[in-house]
Amino acid sequence: MKDIHNFINGEFVATARQFTKHSPMDHAPIARVHEAGRDEIDRAVQAARAALRGPWGRLPISERAELLKGLVSAIDRRFDDFLEAECADTGKPRSLASHLDIPRGAANFKVFADLINSVPAEFFESPTPDGRGSLNYAIRRPVGVIGVICPWNLPLLLMTWKVGPALACGNTVVVKPSEETPQTATLLGEVMNEVGIPAGVYNVVHGFGPDSAGAFLTEHPGINAITFTGETRTGTAIMQAAARGTRPVSFELGGKNPAIVFADCDLDATIEGCLRSAFANSGQVCLGTERIYVERPLFETFVQRLKAGAEALKIGCPDEEGVSMGPLVSREHQNKVLSYYRKAAELGATVVTGGGVPPMPGHLAQGAWVQPTIWTGLGDDSPIAREEIFGPCTLVQPFDAEDEVIRRANDTDYGLACSIWTQNLSRAHRVAAQIEAGLVWVNSWFLRELRSPFGGSKQSGIGREGGVHSLEFYTELRNICIKL
C-alpha cells in the first residue's frame, strides 16, 4: 500500500494517526492516509498566512497568472499519474476521467489565470464643493487564507474549480479533500513544487469531518473564508463554524434536480441526455437528474426507451473497454443508495429496471456496485421524489399541463439545476424563467461555460462560482478616493 501524506508548506508530512483507503471496485486496501490533527491544521494555516504576507503576496498579477498556466502544462505532463489516482479513488471509467476530470481540472487554472489579467475595475469622477473634483477607483485584494473543502465525486475538477480562482486572486489555500478521494489533491502538491509555486501557497490536510481535519479547519481563526461543495447538512455545520468571526462562505450543496420532457422534444436527443444526466459517474453528480417529468402522450414510449438505454450500459472497472458505469465511491455510500432502492420497493414503486446489485465476478463482488435504476408509480410526496439519493437512479412521472409541471418541478427544498426538453422556443424561454434553480439547460445537460454563474438556490447553496462571479468571493474591493 502507498502512503498518502499531508502537504504543508511545500513538504509532505506524516502523522501517527492514519486511516485506510479502500478500492471501490473490490474493497481492497489501496493506501494509508495520514490524518491531520489540530497541530497539522495550525501548521498549514500558519504556512498559508506566511506565504500570503511573503513571496506570493508580492508577486505581480501577470507573474502569478503565468505560474498558474504552468500548472496546466505540468498536469498535462503527468496526465497518466492523475488519471490513475482519480480512477483508483473513485472507480470511474477511464473514458470519463480522461475526457472530463483531468482536462477540466487543469483547465480551471488557465481560465482564471486569463480572467485575472482582464477583469475590469470601477472608476468614477466626482464633483467636490470646491469645484476641483475627485477620483474614485476600486482595486481588488485577496481575502486571505481560504479553507477549501472538497467532495469525492469529481475530486480534481471541483477542487481546482475553487483553488484556481483563489490562487489567481492572490489568496493562499488549505485544502481538505474528501477522505474517500485523497490522491489527486496530494499529487497536485508535487506539481506545485515542480512549477515553482512558493511553499505555503497550497496546503493539503487529510481527515474526516467532525472531530477531525474538517472541523479543525473550519473552526481555525486563521481561516478568512470557507468554500465547500457537498451535502446540505454538512454545509449547515460549516456555516455555524464560519459564523464565529463572521467569515464569508461559498457553498454548492445538494440537489434533487428535475428534467421536464415535453411531447414535442427531439426524442433521440432527450433519451441520450436523460441517460447521461441520470447515470453518468454512477449518478454521483450534484447536477444529476433524479426526477423526470414526461408529458403524458410521450410517457410510455419515453419510459421504454430510457429502460433500453439503461440496460445497455456496461458496468465494470475503469480499464475495461466500453465501460460506461463504475462502482459507487464506497460501501458506505452503496448502503445509502441501496436503502433507497429498498424503500422504493416498500412504497410500491414499479421498478422499470435495476433496483439492486449487479452480479460481479470473483473479488469484484466485494465492491460498491449498484444497478442503474428507473422507477415509476410514486407520487411527489414520496421520499424517492424529495430526498437526494446521489446514485444511478431516477423516478419518471407523467404530467398534463405546463403550469402543473412547473409547480411540481419547483416543489422541492433544493434548487440547483433543471433540464428542459422541447422544440418550442417560446415554451423553452417561458418555462426556464419560472424554474427555481441556479442553472437551467434547454435541450442539453452538463453543457458548461466556465465564465457563466454557477450555484444553487434554496438549500442548494450560497453564492455563485465561475468567471467574475468567483472573483467576487475570492477578492475584496477596496475603494480609493483621490481629492484633486
Active site (catalytic) residues: 252
Contact 92, 86 (CB under 8 A): yes
* Residues near 356 by beta carbon (within 8 Å), at least 6 away in sequence: 338, 341, 370, 371
**Cα gap 424→406, rounded to integer Å:** 16
- Report the 3 state secondary structure along 464-482: CECHHHHHHHHEEEEEEEE
Task: Give the dihedral of Cα atoms 365, 368, 371, 376; nearest 10 deg.
Answer: 140
State how far the alpha carbon of 248 is from the alpha carbons of 21, 143, 223, 227, 459, in Å. 32, 10, 10, 9, 17
**Any idea of the CA torsion for 380, 383, 388, 389, to the nearest 10 degrees?**
-120
Q: What is the dihedral of CA 160, 165, 168, 169, to 10 degrees?
A: -150
Scored b (16 or more CB within 10 A) or e, 178-195 reads bbbbbbbbbbbbebbbeb
Q: Which residue's entry shows cell 476530470?
A: 101
Euclidean distance between the first and the last CA atom of the chain, given in angstroms as a whole number: 67
CB 92 within 8 A of CB 280: no
CA proximity to 394, closest of 315, 283, 311: 283
Yes or no: say if 186 and 193 are a contact pair by the CB < 8 Å rule: no
What does the buried/exposed string (b/e) look like for 63-86 if buried means 16 or more CB atoms within 10 Å of the residue's CB?
ebbebbebbbebbeebeebbbbbb
Residue 334 CB neighbours (<10 A): 21
Are 334 and 342 in contact by the 8 Å Cβ rule? The answer is no
Question: Percent helix, strand and coil across the chain, each rounded to 5?
Answer: 40, 25, 35
CA distance 300 to 267: 13
CA 183, 391, 439, 93 dihedral sign is positive
* Cα(166)–Cα(307) distance, integer angstroms: 43
